[in-house]
Structure formats: structure tokens, C-alpha cells
Amino acid sequence: MARTGSVASPSLVGRRGTLAIATTAVGLSASLGRPLIVQGGVPVTSDTLHAIDATFLRVEHDGAHMHVGGVLLCGGEPPTCSELARAVEGRLDQIPRFRQRLLIDRLGIAYPRWVDDTNFDIGYHVRVTALPSPGGEPELRTLVGRLFSQPLDRSRPLWELWLVEGCSGGGFALVSKMHHCLVDGIASANVATVLFDAQPVPADDERPRRAWRARPAPARRMTALETAGELIGGPLSLVRKTLPALRQPREFLSRSRTVAGGLGDFLVAGLTPAPPSRYNVPLTSHRRFTWVGCDLDEVKTIKNAFGVTLNDVVLAAVAGALRRHLRRSGEEVAGRQLKAMVPVNVRTELDGADSGNRITTLFTTLPIGMAHPVDRVEAVAASMRRLKASNQVLGANTLATVMDAVTPRAVGPIADLLSSPRTFNITITNIPGPQFGLYVLGRELREIVPMVPLAGGHALGIAVFSYKGRLSFGLLADYLAVPDLELLADDLRAALGELATAAAGWREDEVTLRGEAIRPRAARAPAFKGASGRGGRRTRSRGGSSKQPAAVSHPR
């Protein structure tokens, strides 16, 4: 069985070359709390949203749009919109949610549920647009920002796929939008593996296909009965999960203490106020979007040099970029930290298909006050190790379970608190994608750039996605609050360059990190396109003190 957060390998490719992803594959194919992708188009769980799903509906107000998205850069001549629509529609039996809309309880005492859209029209969801001349990357970035500025229509299935023509130099782009109550990052990545092919020329699919027929929406009386059942069933489900543990009192008490401690860790982390920043202001409905890409192997070289994780490198690079960006706008950063919200997939192999993909949020710090890139990566790595050693994940997962057992009205204040700018400054999500190529009607899918939505009071979000040896950073910002988003992208390139330079100069006799001597993996820094600024080389004694040579200037 696949690991949590993993993706399917080419060995899972079906007859058409698409990925035959079963709902039991861990870390794959699920919406938040409910399976999204199913094999053979057979739903296997209740159509009612989980509490976490529903929170993304609640916090969608005052300029906050809760759709995730992506920009897919493709080679070759673009297909026609009708060709793309037919190809997508032919695979919707594996994604039944794409033909369903939300039925929302007006009283607010039950969670929304998915029902078939009796007026489903593929032409509404698959659309075409074109870039103005000269059709370069600046024009594409502007167009994508405008598309991401438009909320999805809640009376219809909550997704759109835009075909973008008129790209200079050949090729085309696809822009996807899916509501966060429908998918999380892992699920949205795997939607692509279902809609597109793992081979340039897919083989014929000999499976019989049934014409799709919408099920009629439930009658109002039936809806009321289901609502009553859910009001009773939620608490009863929590009791059923607890009763077996009571048969072993000692283990139950020990586990209870661990869970209580984890819940306390999570609440303390969540309730610790985030510092004020220029990124935490009221939102407009308008967005800017840009991206930064680099080779995944280059980032792995940095990771290996310092003995940290790839996610540590990502967070350290973002911290360096924000430091530069804030200094440029005249802000003092010495001694400052920002608080980042990091979504985490908490599903394990013990979770069955009915549990779906469980996601929660953790909070960590970004050391923007540290001038040297090595200090930043060490601080980030230490913070993440403490986070993993704590029981925050267990506490957050426990809170999600409790939220499922109570009514939306009871969950509302929790959702408001967790999405507040008082709780965190910025969202940073790192999504593992497939490391093999995908094809759109025979055209190569060259790069996938992710997008994470902005909650109210959060003017900047950064999503990271790995695909086929490429690591792409997608930067989404409020149009008015961050008018210099392209400069922040330059700052991110520079921060990656700083880390690469520092990693290249990291010698075994200069540092002991986490009690282990670290040997550099490269003789010189990897090249990051557009990177500027010098990381500098410094030495560090075994005792932990550091000296900065006078001839080396600190980066901004």
C-alpha cells in the first residue's frame, strides 16, 4: 500500500494510460474527509461533508475565495475546447464529485451533502480563453490572476478547467480551479493523473461505459430525516469509537493523557498570537499570481548538504524571500519571526476508504530575523523537529474527529479562529506530485504550478509542487496588498541561490549538525535561474558559535 502523501507509480497505469487509482490507496484520491476518485465510478461513502470540508465554505467571504488551483504548462498545438471537454467528460465516472453540487441545510444544523447536478453541462466547466499579444509569460500571469479572482458558483459542481490559447513560442496552458471543500492538495494532484494520460498515445479502453444519469435530489422530508439521523449519529459515532478502548482501562488512560497533551499542544500553538505583518490585511476579491521553478535535484542537493528535509529547505527559502521583501519595503526584520500555517495529510494505513483523506493544520515559525541562510535552515529544521516530536498532529486530528460529531454552528467559531490572521501570517503548503510525465491528448504536460487560496486577512499564500523532477512555487497574493509580487518572486530565487551557495561551501570539518558531521554533496553551488545575492561562507566551531569573515557581506 502506498505511503501517506505518495503518488501512484507508472505500474498502476490502466489500459488507456490513465492511472487506475483505487479508493483504498493511502494518501491518494480523496477529498477532505471523503473519497473523491473512485474506480469504476462507484461511490463508497456517505455524501455528507466532514466538518473540515465544511469549514472551507464558512470562511469563504469578504474577498476570500476557497478554491485551490493550478497552472499546467503544456507543449504542442492546443486541442480544441470541444476535444478537451469530450476527453474530460469521458473520465468523470472516476470522479463522481465533478458531476455533483452541494445541497446546503438552511437551518445550519447539518453539514452540506453532495447531490447529482441534474443540469450538469460539461461545456460550463471546460472553457477556453486566449492571451493578448504578445502572449508571453507576463500576459499568462495576469490572466491566471484574473481567473483565480472569480469565485466558483455554488449552485453547480465546484470546478472549472480553462484552456488558454495564444501562448507565444508554441504550446498552451490549462488553468484548473476546484473548491477546497471538494479536494485538498494531494487529491487535486491526483485528479490530474485521472484526467490525463501517462503515455503519449494511450491504448484503447475496452471497458464498457454506462451513460450517466443524475439521481434526483432527495425530497425535503427525506432530507429532514437524514439531518435528524446525522444529529444523533455524530455523537453516537464518537461513543462507538471510545467504547472498545474502555475495555483496557490502563491503556485508555495512557492514551487519553497523550491525546489531551496533543490537543493542548495544538491549541497552544494555534492560540499563540501571530505577529502583525504587511501580509495580514483585509482582502479584496482580486488576485495576482506568479511562480518560480527550479530543478528538484538542486533542492535535494541543498537538503543533503545540511542533513535536513526537503520541506525544511522550502520553508528556509520562503523565510529568506520574505526577509528580503520586507526589508525592501522599509520594515525592520531583526529578531522577528512570522508564523506559518502548514497543511498536513494525517491519513494512515489504518484508515479505511470511508475515512477519506484526513488533513489538518500545524503551525511553525519562519526566522525572517536571521541574516545568514545557514542560520535560517538550521532554525527551521529545529522547529520542525520539535513540531514532529510533539503531539500536535494527534491533537489536531482529535479536534477534527470531535468537530465531525457536533453541528456546524458549534464548529463555526473554531473555523473562524483557525483561519484568523491572529492565528497565523501565511500559508505554505508542499505537495508531492508524480515524478513521471503526463500527457494531455498526446501533448506533453511540462510543468504544474500549484495555487493555495487566501483566507480572510491573509494577503499572501505559497504552494509548492513537485512534478517530473521539477519543483514549482506558486505565489498568490491580494492584488492591492502585494503589488510587488514579482519582486517577491525574485527574492525567492535569490533565497534559493543563497542556500545553494551556502550548501556548496559546507565542509565536514566546519559543522556538526544534529550530532552528525555533514559532508557536502556538490563541489559548487547549483545554478538557480534568476538567483541573486551571495550566501557567503562562514565557519562554525564545534561549540556552536559562529564567525562571519569581515570580507563577506550579509545578504539582504
Q: How far apart are CA 548 and CA 170, in angstroms?
A: 48
Q: How far apart are CA 228 and CA 233, in angstroms?
A: 8
Q: 94, 88, 96: which is closest to 115 by C-alpha?
A: 96
| All residues at 6 or more sequence positions from 408 whose CB lies less than 8 Å from its CB, including other chains | 51, 54, 58, 105, 108, 109, 110, 111
Q: 457, 490, 462, 283: which is closest to 366 by C-alpha?
A: 462
Residue 457: exposed, middle, or buried by beta-carbon count in 10 A (0-12, 13-18, 19+)? buried
DSSP states of 15-77 as a string? Answer: TTSSB---TTSTTSSB-BSSB---GGG---S-SBPPHHHHHHHHT--TT---EEEEEEEE-SS
Instruction: Catalytic residue, from 180, 325, 372, 458: name it.
Output: 180
Angle made by CA atoms 302, 319, 291, in degrees to the nearest 5: 80
Q: How far apart are CA 322 and CA 366, in angstroms?
A: 9
Q: How far apart are CA 343 and CA 346, in angstroms?
A: 9
3-state helix, strand, coil in the chain (%, to 5): 35, 20, 45
Q: Which residue has the cell 472498545?
A: 244
Under 8 Å between Cβ of 496 and 505: no
Under 8 Å between Cβ of 536 and 555: yes
- Is 554 one of the catalytic residues? no
Q: 2, 4, 1: which is closest to 358 by C-alpha?
A: 4
Question: Cell numbers of 325, please?
Answer: 521583501
Q: 282, 420, 427, 419: which is closest to 366 by C-alpha?
A: 427
Under 8 Å between Cβ of 190 and 28: yes
Question: Cell numbers of 287, please?
Answer: 488576485
Q: How far apart are CA 74 and CA 67, in angstroms?
A: 22
Q: Which residue has the cell 508564523?
A: 339
Question: Cell numbers of 109, please?
Answer: 444544523
Paired residues of 426 in beta bridges: 340
Residues forming the active site? 180
